Amino acid sequence: MMLHAVVKPRALPASFSIVPSEGLCQRSGTRRLVVMNTAAGAVVEEGSRQKDGIQRLTIVQPDDWHLHLRDGDGLNAVAPLSAGVFRRAIIMPNLKPPVTNLSAALAYRDRIMKALPSNVEFEPLMTLYLTDVTTRQDIKDASESGLVKAVKLYPAGATTNSQAGVTDLFGKCMPVLEEMVEQGLLLLVHGEVADQTVDIFDREKVFIETVLTPLRKKLPKLKIVMEHITTEDAVQFVESNTDGMVAATVTPQHLLMNRNALFQGGLQPHNYCLPVLKRETHRRALVAAVTSGSKRFFLGTDSAPHERSAKEASCGCAGIFSAPIALPLYAEAFEQAGALDKLEGFASLNGPDFYGLPRNSNTTTLIRKSWHVPKEYGFGPGAVVPMWAGQALNWNIE
Ligand SMILES: NC(=O)N[C@@H](CC(=O)O)C(=O)O
Ligand SMILES: [Zn+2]
Ligand SMILES: [Zn+2]
Protein backbone atom coordinates (compact mmCIF):
# COMPACT_ATOMS: atom_id res chain seq x y z
CA MET A 1 0.00 0.00 0.00
CA MET A 2 1.52 3.31 -1.04
CA LEU A 3 0.39 6.01 1.34
CA HIS A 4 2.81 8.67 0.30
CA ALA A 5 2.47 10.98 -2.62
CA VAL A 6 4.49 9.71 -5.53
CA VAL A 7 6.81 12.37 -6.81
CA LYS A 8 8.99 11.99 -9.86
CA PRO A 9 12.60 12.90 -9.16
CA ARG A 10 13.52 16.17 -10.78
CA ALA A 11 16.74 16.69 -12.70
CA LEU A 12 19.92 16.39 -10.67
CA PRO A 13 21.16 19.71 -9.31
CA ALA A 14 24.41 21.20 -10.55
CA SER A 15 26.43 19.86 -7.62
CA PHE A 16 25.78 16.30 -8.71
CA SER A 17 27.93 14.84 -11.38
CA ILE A 18 27.40 11.53 -13.03
CA VAL A 19 30.60 10.30 -14.50
CA PRO A 20 31.20 7.10 -16.44
CA SER A 21 32.64 4.55 -14.08
CA GLU A 22 35.81 2.60 -14.53
CA GLY A 23 37.00 -0.93 -13.92
CA LEU A 24 34.41 -3.40 -12.79
CA CYS A 25 31.51 -1.12 -13.33
CA GLN A 26 32.50 -0.09 -16.79
CA ARG A 27 32.16 -3.70 -17.77
CA SER A 28 28.75 -3.97 -16.19
CA GLY A 29 27.73 -0.69 -17.75
CA THR A 30 26.68 1.00 -14.50
CA ARG A 31 27.51 4.60 -13.73
CA ARG A 32 28.99 6.32 -10.74
CA LEU A 33 27.00 9.02 -9.00
CA VAL A 34 29.00 11.42 -6.87
CA VAL A 35 27.57 13.96 -4.45
CA MET A 36 30.07 16.64 -3.59
CA ASN A 37 30.46 19.72 -1.42
CA THR A 38 29.44 18.44 1.98
CA ALA A 39 31.20 19.09 5.27
CA ALA A 40 31.86 15.42 5.88
CA GLY A 41 33.21 15.12 2.35
CA ALA A 42 30.02 13.18 1.64
CA VAL A 43 29.93 10.94 -1.34
CA VAL A 44 27.25 8.89 -2.93
CA GLU A 45 29.04 6.61 -5.23
CA GLU A 46 28.16 3.62 -7.21
CA GLY A 47 30.63 1.61 -9.15
CA SER A 48 34.36 1.44 -9.20
CA ARG A 49 35.12 2.99 -5.83
CA GLN A 50 32.62 0.81 -3.98
CA LYS A 51 33.52 -2.80 -4.67
CA ASP A 52 30.05 -3.93 -3.54
CA GLY A 53 28.30 -1.54 -5.93
CA ILE A 54 26.22 0.02 -3.14
CA GLN A 55 25.67 3.78 -3.03
CA ARG A 56 26.77 5.36 0.21
CA LEU A 57 26.14 8.81 1.60
CA THR A 58 28.37 9.94 4.45
CA ILE A 59 27.34 13.03 6.38
CA VAL A 60 28.19 14.73 9.67
CA GLN A 61 26.18 12.91 12.34
CA PRO A 62 22.72 14.48 12.58
CA ASP A 63 20.83 15.83 15.58
CA ASP A 64 17.08 15.80 16.18
CA TRP A 65 15.83 19.29 17.04
CA HIS A 66 12.32 18.15 18.08
CA LEU A 67 11.84 14.88 19.94
CA HIS A 68 9.34 13.35 22.37
CA LEU A 69 10.96 10.68 24.56
CA ARG A 70 8.04 10.25 27.00
CA ASP A 71 8.77 8.77 30.43
CA GLY A 72 8.92 5.51 32.37
CA ASP A 73 8.81 2.27 30.35
CA GLY A 74 8.12 4.17 27.12
CA LEU A 75 11.24 6.29 27.63
CA ASN A 76 13.33 3.18 28.24
CA ALA A 77 12.07 1.72 24.97
CA VAL A 78 12.51 4.73 22.64
CA ALA A 79 15.49 6.67 24.03
CA PRO A 80 18.04 4.07 22.81
CA LEU A 81 16.47 4.19 19.34
CA SER A 82 17.04 7.94 19.01
CA ALA A 83 20.48 7.69 20.58
CA GLY A 84 21.42 5.07 18.01
CA VAL A 85 21.00 7.62 15.22
CA PHE A 86 21.27 11.15 16.58
CA ARG A 87 24.08 12.72 18.60
CA ARG A 88 21.85 15.28 20.34
CA ALA A 89 18.15 16.00 20.57
CA ILE A 90 15.95 18.80 21.79
CA ILE A 91 13.70 17.04 24.29
CA MET A 92 10.08 18.12 24.37
CA PRO A 93 8.71 18.88 27.85
CA ASN A 94 5.05 17.85 27.38
CA LEU A 95 5.08 15.12 30.00
CA LYS A 96 2.30 14.60 32.53
CA PRO A 97 2.95 16.72 34.58
CA PRO A 98 4.91 18.99 32.22
CA VAL A 99 8.56 19.94 32.71
CA THR A 100 8.07 23.52 33.86
CA ASN A 101 11.23 24.31 35.82
CA LEU A 102 14.91 23.49 36.12
CA SER A 103 14.60 20.83 38.79
CA ALA A 104 12.01 18.92 36.74
CA ALA A 105 14.22 19.26 33.65
CA LEU A 106 17.30 17.95 35.48
CA ALA A 107 15.38 15.03 36.95
CA TYR A 108 14.01 14.17 33.49
CA ARG A 109 17.49 14.46 32.01
CA ASP A 110 18.75 11.94 34.57
CA ARG A 111 15.97 9.51 33.68
CA ILE A 112 16.87 9.87 29.99
CA MET A 113 20.55 9.18 30.66
CA LYS A 114 19.63 6.10 32.70
CA ALA A 115 17.52 4.80 29.79
CA LEU A 116 20.55 4.79 27.45
CA PRO A 117 23.05 2.00 26.92
CA SER A 118 26.41 2.94 28.40
CA ASN A 119 28.25 2.74 25.07
CA VAL A 120 26.29 5.45 23.20
CA GLU A 121 27.07 9.13 23.26
CA PHE A 122 23.84 11.08 23.30
CA GLU A 123 23.20 14.52 24.67
CA PRO A 124 19.65 15.46 25.62
CA LEU A 125 19.16 19.21 25.22
CA MET A 126 16.44 20.10 27.67
CA THR A 127 13.52 22.51 27.31
CA LEU A 128 11.03 24.09 29.71
CA TYR A 129 7.28 24.03 29.15
CA LEU A 130 6.01 27.61 29.17
CA THR A 131 2.90 28.29 31.27
CA ASP A 132 0.93 31.36 32.29
CA VAL A 133 2.80 31.28 35.62
CA THR A 134 6.40 30.70 34.48
CA THR A 135 8.61 33.27 36.23
CA ARG A 136 11.69 35.24 35.20
CA GLN A 137 13.56 33.32 37.88
CA ASP A 138 12.59 30.01 36.24
CA ILE A 139 14.20 31.28 33.04
CA LYS A 140 17.36 32.53 34.80
CA ASP A 141 17.82 29.26 36.67
CA ALA A 142 17.30 27.21 33.53
CA SER A 143 19.70 29.26 31.47
CA GLU A 144 22.43 29.29 34.12
CA SER A 145 22.37 25.49 34.31
CA GLY A 146 23.66 25.33 30.72
CA LEU A 147 21.55 22.19 30.24
CA VAL A 148 18.30 23.88 29.18
CA LYS A 149 18.51 25.41 25.72
CA ALA A 150 14.98 26.55 24.98
CA VAL A 151 11.45 27.14 26.19
CA LYS A 152 8.47 25.55 24.48
CA LEU A 153 5.22 27.39 23.81
CA TYR A 154 2.14 25.20 23.58
CA PRO A 155 -1.00 27.25 23.13
CA ALA A 156 -3.32 25.63 25.73
CA GLY A 157 -5.38 22.93 24.05
CA ALA A 158 -3.51 22.99 20.71
CA THR A 159 -1.98 19.49 20.86
CA THR A 160 -1.14 16.42 22.97
CA ASN A 161 -0.48 17.31 26.65
CA SER A 162 -0.88 21.04 26.06
CA GLN A 163 -3.62 21.60 28.64
CA ALA A 164 -1.15 23.34 30.97
CA GLY A 165 0.07 25.56 28.14
CA VAL A 166 -0.28 29.27 27.59
CA THR A 167 -3.74 30.85 27.47
CA ASP A 168 -2.65 34.43 26.73
CA LEU A 169 0.92 34.92 25.49
CA PHE A 170 0.89 38.70 25.22
CA GLY A 171 -1.13 39.20 28.42
CA LYS A 172 0.77 36.76 30.63
CA CYS A 173 4.23 35.91 29.26
CA MET A 174 5.96 39.08 28.05
CA PRO A 175 8.31 39.53 31.06
CA VAL A 176 9.37 35.90 30.75
CA LEU A 177 9.99 36.26 27.01
CA GLU A 178 12.07 39.39 27.71
CA GLU A 179 14.11 37.40 30.21
CA MET A 180 14.65 34.72 27.56
CA VAL A 181 16.13 37.34 25.24
CA GLU A 182 18.49 38.42 28.02
CA GLN A 183 19.48 34.84 28.82
CA GLY A 184 19.78 33.75 25.19
CA LEU A 185 17.15 31.00 25.43
CA LEU A 186 15.24 30.19 22.25
CA LEU A 187 11.45 30.09 22.01
CA LEU A 188 10.16 26.95 20.32
CA VAL A 189 6.54 27.13 19.21
CA HIS A 190 3.79 24.71 18.43
CA GLY A 191 2.57 27.15 15.83
CA GLU A 192 -1.18 26.65 15.79
CA VAL A 193 -3.97 28.62 17.40
CA ALA A 194 -6.04 26.51 19.77
CA ASP A 195 -9.27 28.31 18.80
CA GLN A 196 -11.61 25.46 17.89
CA THR A 197 -13.70 27.78 15.71
CA VAL A 198 -10.74 28.17 13.32
CA ASP A 199 -10.65 25.47 10.63
CA ILE A 200 -8.01 22.90 11.61
CA PHE A 201 -6.24 23.34 8.25
CA ASP A 202 -5.91 27.11 8.86
CA ARG A 203 -4.62 27.08 12.43
CA GLU A 204 -0.95 27.47 11.48
CA LYS A 205 -1.62 30.39 9.14
CA VAL A 206 -3.77 32.15 11.76
CA PHE A 207 -1.06 31.58 14.39
CA ILE A 208 1.49 33.28 12.14
CA GLU A 209 -0.83 36.25 11.66
CA THR A 210 -2.05 36.65 15.23
CA VAL A 211 0.92 35.52 17.32
CA LEU A 212 4.23 35.29 15.46
CA THR A 213 4.00 38.45 13.39
CA PRO A 214 3.13 40.69 16.37
CA LEU A 215 5.64 38.83 18.59
CA ARG A 216 8.44 39.57 16.14
CA LYS A 217 7.53 43.29 16.27
CA LYS A 218 7.41 43.35 20.08
CA LEU A 219 10.57 41.31 20.67
CA PRO A 220 12.76 41.34 17.57
CA LYS A 221 15.72 39.91 19.51
CA LEU A 222 13.88 36.75 20.58
CA LYS A 223 15.13 33.72 18.64
CA ILE A 224 12.21 31.59 17.49
CA VAL A 225 11.97 28.09 16.05
CA MET A 226 8.66 27.33 14.43
CA GLU A 227 8.37 23.63 15.08
CA HIS A 228 7.04 21.06 12.63
CA ILE A 229 5.89 23.51 9.94
CA THR A 230 3.26 22.23 7.55
CA THR A 231 2.28 25.03 5.18
CA GLU A 232 3.54 27.27 2.42
CA ASP A 233 2.52 30.17 4.68
CA ALA A 234 5.02 29.02 7.32
CA VAL A 235 7.75 28.60 4.70
CA GLN A 236 7.12 32.16 3.51
CA PHE A 237 7.10 33.47 7.07
CA VAL A 238 10.48 31.86 7.81
CA GLU A 239 11.95 33.01 4.51
CA SER A 240 10.69 36.57 4.95
CA ASN A 241 12.39 36.93 8.35
CA THR A 242 15.89 37.48 7.06
CA ASP A 243 17.47 38.75 10.27
CA GLY A 244 18.61 35.30 11.39
CA MET A 245 16.17 35.15 14.31
CA VAL A 246 13.60 32.73 12.88
CA ALA A 247 14.01 29.13 11.74
CA ALA A 248 11.81 26.06 11.41
CA THR A 249 11.98 22.32 11.88
CA VAL A 250 10.34 19.99 9.37
CA THR A 251 9.21 16.41 10.06
CA PRO A 252 9.54 13.40 7.76
CA GLN A 253 5.76 12.94 7.64
CA HIS A 254 5.13 16.46 6.36
CA LEU A 255 7.75 15.96 3.63
CA LEU A 256 6.53 12.56 2.47
CA MET A 257 2.76 12.62 2.94
CA ASN A 258 -0.14 14.87 2.21
CA ARG A 259 -3.56 14.76 3.85
CA ASN A 260 -4.77 12.01 1.52
CA ALA A 261 -2.62 9.69 3.63
CA LEU A 262 -5.08 10.15 6.51
CA PHE A 263 -7.91 8.60 4.53
CA GLN A 264 -6.20 6.22 2.10
CA GLY A 265 -8.40 3.12 1.96
CA GLY A 266 -10.00 4.05 5.31
CA LEU A 267 -9.06 6.08 8.37
CA GLN A 268 -5.31 5.82 9.05
CA PRO A 269 -4.73 6.76 12.69
CA HIS A 270 -0.97 6.25 12.51
CA ASN A 271 -0.71 9.11 10.03
CA TYR A 272 -2.48 11.50 12.39
CA CYS A 273 -0.36 14.14 14.05
CA LEU A 274 -0.65 17.81 14.84
CA PRO A 275 -0.34 20.04 12.98
CA VAL A 276 -2.38 17.73 10.76
CA LEU A 277 -1.04 16.78 7.29
CA LYS A 278 -1.92 19.37 4.66
CA ARG A 279 -2.69 19.38 0.95
CA GLU A 280 -0.08 18.54 -1.70
CA THR A 281 0.78 22.15 -2.57
CA HIS A 282 1.95 22.69 1.01
CA ARG A 283 3.97 19.47 1.04
CA ARG A 284 5.73 20.61 -2.12
CA ALA A 285 6.50 23.99 -0.57
CA LEU A 286 8.11 22.23 2.40
CA VAL A 287 10.20 20.00 0.12
CA ALA A 288 11.31 23.04 -1.85
CA ALA A 289 12.26 24.85 1.37
CA VAL A 290 14.36 22.06 2.88
CA THR A 291 16.11 21.30 -0.41
CA SER A 292 16.76 24.97 -1.25
CA GLY A 293 19.97 25.10 0.75
CA SER A 294 18.48 27.71 3.11
CA LYS A 295 20.13 27.62 6.54
CA ARG A 296 16.82 28.30 8.28
CA PHE A 297 15.25 24.86 7.90
CA PHE A 298 16.48 21.88 9.84
CA LEU A 299 15.66 18.38 11.01
CA GLY A 300 13.15 17.86 13.81
CA THR A 301 11.42 14.51 13.67
CA ASP A 302 8.62 15.31 16.15
CA SER A 303 8.82 11.57 16.80
CA ALA A 304 5.90 11.23 19.22
CA PRO A 305 5.24 7.63 20.26
CA HIS A 306 1.83 6.59 21.50
CA GLU A 307 0.78 3.12 22.53
CA ARG A 308 -0.91 1.34 19.62
CA SER A 309 -4.21 1.15 21.52
CA ALA A 310 -4.21 4.93 22.09
CA LYS A 311 -3.95 5.53 18.34
CA GLU A 312 -6.32 2.77 17.20
CA ALA A 313 -9.20 4.02 19.31
CA SER A 314 -12.55 5.77 18.96
CA CYS A 315 -10.69 8.98 19.81
CA GLY A 316 -7.15 8.39 18.59
CA CYS A 317 -4.44 10.71 19.83
CA ALA A 318 -2.10 12.86 17.73
CA GLY A 319 1.54 11.94 17.19
CA ILE A 320 3.63 9.90 14.75
CA PHE A 321 6.56 7.74 15.87
CA SER A 322 9.53 7.95 13.50
CA ALA A 323 12.77 8.13 15.51
CA PRO A 324 14.55 4.95 14.36
CA ILE A 325 13.63 5.37 10.70
CA ALA A 326 13.58 9.15 10.42
CA LEU A 327 16.95 9.54 8.72
CA PRO A 328 16.12 7.02 5.94
CA LEU A 329 12.73 8.74 5.56
CA TYR A 330 14.38 12.13 5.11
CA ALA A 331 16.85 10.59 2.64
CA GLU A 332 13.86 9.27 0.68
CA ALA A 333 12.29 12.73 0.55
CA PHE A 334 15.55 14.42 -0.50
CA GLU A 335 16.23 11.75 -3.12
CA GLN A 336 12.73 12.13 -4.58
CA ALA A 337 13.52 15.82 -4.95
CA GLY A 338 16.91 15.11 -6.55
CA ALA A 339 18.59 16.94 -3.71
CA LEU A 340 20.54 14.40 -1.65
CA ASP A 341 23.40 16.87 -1.59
CA LYS A 342 21.26 19.14 0.61
CA LEU A 343 20.50 16.46 3.22
CA GLU A 344 23.59 17.09 5.31
CA GLY A 345 22.95 20.80 5.76
CA PHE A 346 19.37 20.12 6.80
CA ALA A 347 20.12 17.14 9.05
CA SER A 348 23.46 18.02 10.60
CA LEU A 349 24.63 21.61 10.10
CA ASN A 350 21.77 24.13 10.10
CA GLY A 351 20.42 23.11 13.50
CA PRO A 352 23.59 23.55 15.56
CA ASP A 353 24.43 26.71 13.62
CA PHE A 354 21.06 28.26 14.51
CA TYR A 355 21.26 27.16 18.16
CA GLY A 356 24.83 28.46 18.42
CA LEU A 357 26.19 25.01 19.27
CA PRO A 358 29.19 23.21 17.74
CA ARG A 359 28.62 20.87 14.81
CA ASN A 360 29.19 17.19 15.49
CA SER A 361 32.63 15.87 14.66
CA ASN A 362 31.77 12.26 13.77
CA THR A 363 29.93 11.00 10.70
CA THR A 364 27.01 8.77 9.75
CA THR A 365 26.83 6.70 6.58
CA LEU A 366 23.62 5.89 4.75
CA ILE A 367 23.48 3.08 2.23
CA ARG A 368 21.06 2.76 -0.66
CA LYS A 369 19.55 -0.67 -0.15
CA SER A 370 15.85 -1.48 -0.05
CA TRP A 371 14.43 -2.71 3.27
CA HIS A 372 11.08 -2.77 5.05
CA VAL A 373 10.17 -0.72 8.10
CA PRO A 374 9.14 -2.94 11.05
CA LYS A 375 5.40 -3.17 11.65
CA GLU A 376 5.85 -2.19 15.28
CA TYR A 377 8.41 -1.47 17.97
CA GLY A 378 8.22 -2.42 21.64
CA PHE A 379 6.91 0.37 23.85
CA GLY A 380 6.91 -0.56 27.51
CA PRO A 381 4.55 -3.51 27.95
CA GLY A 382 2.88 -2.69 24.62
CA ALA A 383 3.86 -1.60 21.14
CA VAL A 384 4.09 1.50 18.98
CA VAL A 385 3.45 1.50 15.23
CA PRO A 386 6.01 3.58 13.36
CA MET A 387 5.49 5.81 10.36
CA TRP A 388 5.77 3.84 7.09
CA ALA A 389 5.14 0.58 8.99
CA GLY A 390 5.72 -2.42 6.75
CA GLN A 391 6.55 -0.26 3.73
CA ALA A 392 9.79 -0.23 1.76
CA LEU A 393 12.51 2.39 2.05
CA ASN A 394 15.46 2.80 -0.29
CA TRP A 395 17.95 4.08 2.28
CA ASN A 396 19.18 2.67 5.56
CA ILE A 397 21.85 3.51 8.09
CA GLU A 398 24.97 1.43 7.52
N1 LIG B 1 2.86 16.17 17.06
C2 LIG B 1 1.89 15.52 17.66
O3 LIG B 1 0.88 15.20 17.01
N4 LIG B 1 1.93 15.17 18.96
C5 LIG B 1 2.94 15.51 19.92
C6 LIG B 1 2.80 16.92 20.41
C7 LIG B 1 3.22 17.97 19.41
O8 LIG B 1 4.38 17.99 18.99
O9 LIG B 1 2.40 18.80 19.02
C10 LIG B 1 2.86 14.53 21.09
O11 LIG B 1 3.44 14.81 22.14
O12 LIG B 1 2.25 13.47 20.92
ZN1 LIG C 1 3.60 20.35 18.42
ZN1 LIG D 1 6.17 17.50 18.98
- Residues 20-39 as b or e (16 or more Cβ within 10 Å = b): ebeeebeeeeeebbbbeebe
Nearest bound ligand to the CA of residue 274: 1
Residue 50: its pLDDT value, please? 57
Confidence of residue 42 (pLDDT cuts 50, 70, 90): low
Q: What is the mean pLDDT of the chain?
A: 91
Judge whether residue 246 has pLDDT over 50. yes
Q: Is 64 a catalytic residue?
A: no
pLDDT in tens, 193-226: 999 999 999 999 999 999 999 999 999 999 999 9
User: Is 7's pLDDT higher than 90?
Assistant: no
Q: Is 353 a catalytic residue?
A: no
pLDDT of residue 40: 74
Does the annotation mark 66 as catalytic? yes
Among protein residues, the one with the nearest Cα to ligand 1's atom 2 is: 319
State the distance from the centre of ligand 2 to the C-alpha of 252, rounded, in angstroms: 14
Exactly one of 66, 149, 270, 306 is catalytic; name it.
66
**Amino acid symbol at 60:** V
pLDDT band at 38 (very low <50, low <70, confident <90, very high): low
Candidates 130, 274, 385: which one to mutate for ligand 1, based on the most atoms within 8 Å of Cβ? Answer: 274
pLDDT at 66 over 60: yes
pLDDT at 22: 27
Closest ligand to the CA of 318? 1
Ligand 1 pocket check for 94: Cβ under 6 Å? yes
Residue with CA closest to ligand 1 atom 8: 302
Q: Which atom of ligand 1 is nearest to the CA of 273?
A: 3
Q: Does the global pTM surpass 0.95?
A: no
Q: Tell me, yes or no, if 228 is annotated catalytic.
A: yes
pLDDT at 41 (0 to 100): 58
User: How sure is the predictor about 47, in pLDDT bands with cuts at 50, 70 and 90?
Assistant: very low
Distance between CA atoms of residues 278 and 259, nearest Å: 5
Report the pLDDT averaged over residues 107-119: 97
Report ipTM (2 d.p.). 0.99
Higher-confidence position of 271 and 47 = 271
Whole-angstrom distance, CA of residue 213 vs CA of residue 189:
13
Superfamily of domain 60-363+382-392: Metal-dependent hydrolases (3.20.20.140)
* Span from the CA of 43 to the centroid of ligand 2 (angstroms): 34
Q: Report whether residue 249 contacts ligand 1, using a CB cutoff of 6 Å.
A: no
Determine the average pLDDT of the residues in 337-360: 98
What's 6's DSSP letter?
P
Q: Is 99 exposed, middle or buried (0-12, 13-18, 19+ CB in 10 A)?
A: buried
